[in-house]
Amino acid sequence: MPKEHDFDGAFKGLRRLLKSRAAKLFVKRDTPGEYYVETKEPLWKGERLFVAAVKKNKSYVSFHLVTVYMYPDLLNKISPELKKRMQGKGCFNFTAPDPELFEELGEVVDAGFKAFRKRGMPA
């Protein structure tokens, strides 16, 4: 069973999950408490688009994923356990590493990036 609170472990695991999938994206921030990626090319009014981020907060580590806003059907098959981690429409909160949920979240990220590419977006 995971520790009740391990923000560093959760951040490292979620950062690794996102970084391993974001080779075609622009890393806007990569600090000990935040990993933020955007499209490499400006796509909206001369600006890059936010794609995803991991951020260590005071009470949890958040994983933000814009593709679930754009394609809400990506959430149709997520487990009740991952659904419990959702805050809002595209944010998942963790207080400790959870390899099973991280793996499932990775599948959601992959599906979202695939949906992006299908529509000609870089991901």
Q: Where are the domains of the chain?
A: 7-118
pLDDT of amino acid 1:
44
Angstrom distance (rounded) from CA 115 to CA 99? 24
pLDDT of amino acid 111:
94
pLDDT of amino acid 46:
84
Top-tier CATH class for 7-118? alpha beta
pLDDT of amino acid 54:
98
pLDDT-based confidence at 35, cuts 50/70/90?
A: very high
Angstrom distance (rounded) from CA 43 to CA 32? 28
pTM over the 0.85 mark: yes
What backbone torsions phi and psi does residue 75 show, to the nearest 5 degrees? -95, -5
